[in-house]
Amino acid sequence: MKNNLFFFFLFTLAVCSVVGQEKPTAFVGAKIIPVAGQPIENGILIVQNGKITAIGDARTVRLAAGVQTIDVQGKVIMPGLVDSHTHIGGGAGADGSAPIQPDVRLLDSFNVRSSSIQRAQSGGVTTVNAMPGSGHLDSGQTLYLKLRDNANKVEDLLIYDQSGKYMGGIKFANGTNPIRATPPFPGTRSKSAALVREQFTKAQEYREKIRKAGNDKSKPPARDLALETLAEVLDGKRVVHFHTHRHDDILTAIRLHKEFGFRIVLHHVSEAWKVADEIAKAKIPASIIIIDAPGGKLEAVDVKMENGAALEKAGALTGFHTDDYITDSRFFLRSAAMAVRAGMSREKALYGLTMANAIMLDLDKRVGSLETGKDADFIVLSGDPLSVYTHVLLTYVDGKKVFDRADPKDYLTAVGGSGATDDKSVHIDCFDGDLGGRE
């Protein structure tokens, strides 16, 4: 019996090894929107081993012998969508014990089997910033994830930097959500800002003590995970993703950024149109949400679809996010379409779904555009990305297909219905359908 298991193990390794030696695959005939340049008619996109190896048309890209070709004539290919603010995966952050909890990690509560991941894939989303909620001034650390298939644990989705550390930011908020009415929460907008200043001042002092201690292990302060995380923020190693709506709250967030020098992305910014010039002058990116049926909170009553156009005119880097389930990941393309309808340029709207968000997440060298050497994250569309009649047909992450609208299971996820929201069971990649196949 042991010998049989041993030979089965060797066979498994052999098969997986062969599968891992990918042949180059060329997607031929589609209109390609690379985002990094002009659209390419009758384009060719070649991918191998999770990377883009060539992009162009028949005059600039030659197909070598042995290349597998996939005919996508009449379709449109563009980069996988980057969602800079989502709550897929059902992760939760801080609790009710304190308004500022930077030591809390979404890593410890993200559900890789959540059907919300497949739902995002069906909308063409390939990379996300998964966030805790906005009920705290600081609700914890976020995660930058690739929406790969076959994940058995959250580590299978993580994106690592060059030092080998998994990537993520930190979630801050102001305005109505974190104020609340009872201590220890602030109660007012002024107190909210005061508490944030207090914690960053403590983090500055903590960081200075560590610096002064040098290599003397007897001198550093007792380790404080919360202050340690805020020190990372002060050092620019972790971006602050700041939930804010009203124009005065937006300016408070900018003020805190200037006082402490941390890197910041403004999220939602419902009243960005009122202070677009101030956002641009501060050189702060804005990740906006487009809602066609506003409601839910008074501080967002003045939200406008013209936010994208106003920020573009002012010169601010502007991206979109779903805040899923506030807007559904399946319809992320729609955000750009509505922004264009309200006056934003087509080019900047598509950039806002892809490259702008990649920049905000420090991932622009890997994702956000179709360029040689970048990750093979892309989507195949039935038509123009801003048309209401267009569907996402195929989604690829690291060169691997994670959504296929022609597959009945994936189609159900895309359109909804009984069973569409069932969480998935993991399966062994090399033997899908044979050993514990996903139903």
pLDDT per residue of the chain (439 residues) written in tens, 0 to 9 = 444 444 444 444 444 444 445 899 999 999 999 999 999 999 999 999 999 999 999 899 999 888 999 999 999 999 999 999 999 999 999 999 999 999 999 999 999 999 999 999 999 999 999 999 999 999 999 999 999 999 999 999 999 999 999 999 999 999 999 999 899 999 999 999 999 999 999 999 999 999 999 988 878 999 999 999 999 999 999 999 999 999 999 999 999 999 999 999 999 999 999 999 999 999 999 999 999 877 778 999 999 999 999 999 999 999 999 999 999 999 999 999 999 999 999 999 999 999 999 999 999 999 999 999 999 999 999 999 999 999 999 999 999 999 999 999 999 999 999 889 889 865 433 333 333 332 2
Q: What is the pLDDT of residue 219?
A: 85
**Which residue do the tokens 């939602």 mark?**
268
pLDDT value at residue 424: 80
Q: Are 41 and 343 in contact (CB under 8 A)?
A: no
Topology annotation, domain 2-79+374-431: Urease, subunit C; domain 1 (2.30.40)
Check residue 425 and give its pLDDT. Answer: 67
Query: Which single residue is written with the structure tokens 């990116």?
Result: 285
Measured CA to CA, the distance from residue 391 to residue 376 in angstroms comes to 20
Q: Three-state SS string across the chain, please? A: CHHHHHHHHHHHHHHHHHHHCCCCEEEEEEEECCCCCCCEEEEEEEEECCEEEEEEECCCCCCCCCCEEEECCCCEEEECEEEEEECCCCCCCCCCCCCECCCCEHHHCCCCCCHHHHHHHHCCEEEEEECCCCCCCEEEECEEEECCCCCCCHHHCECECCCCCECCCEEEECCHHHHCCCCCCCCCHHHHHHHHHHHHHHHHHHHHHHHHHCCCCCCCCCCCHHHHHHHHHHCCCCCEEEEECCHHHHHHHHHHHHHHCCCEEEEECCCHHHCHHHHHHCCCCEEECCCCCCCCCHHHCCCCCCHHHHHHHHCCCEEECCCCCCCCHHHHHHHHHHHHHCCCCHHHHHHHHCHHHHHHCCCCCCCCCCCCCCECCEEEECCCCCCCCCCEEEEEECCEEEEECCCHHHHHHHHCCCCCCCCCCCCCHHHCCCCCCCC
Give the Cα separation of 221 and 229 in Å (integer).
Answer: 15
Question: For tokens 């991918």, what's the residue?
Answer: 47
CA dihedral sign, ordered 429, 432, 437, 438: positive
Q: How far apart are CA 373 and CA 386, in angstroms?
A: 27
Domain 81-360 carries which CATH code? 3.20.20.140
pLDDT value at position 292?
83
What's residue 69's pLDDT?
97
Please list the residue range(s) of the chain that carry CATH number 3.20.20.140.
81-360
Both tokens of residue 311? 């920020």
Question: For residues 79 and 259, what is the distance between their CA atoms, to the nearest angstrom?
Answer: 37
Cα–chain center distance at 355 = 11
Cβ neighbourhood burial of 302 (10 Å; 0-12, 13-18, 19+): middle
Nearest to 267 by CA among 318, 315, 309: 318
Domain(s) of CATH 2.30.40.10: residues in the chain: 2-79+374-431
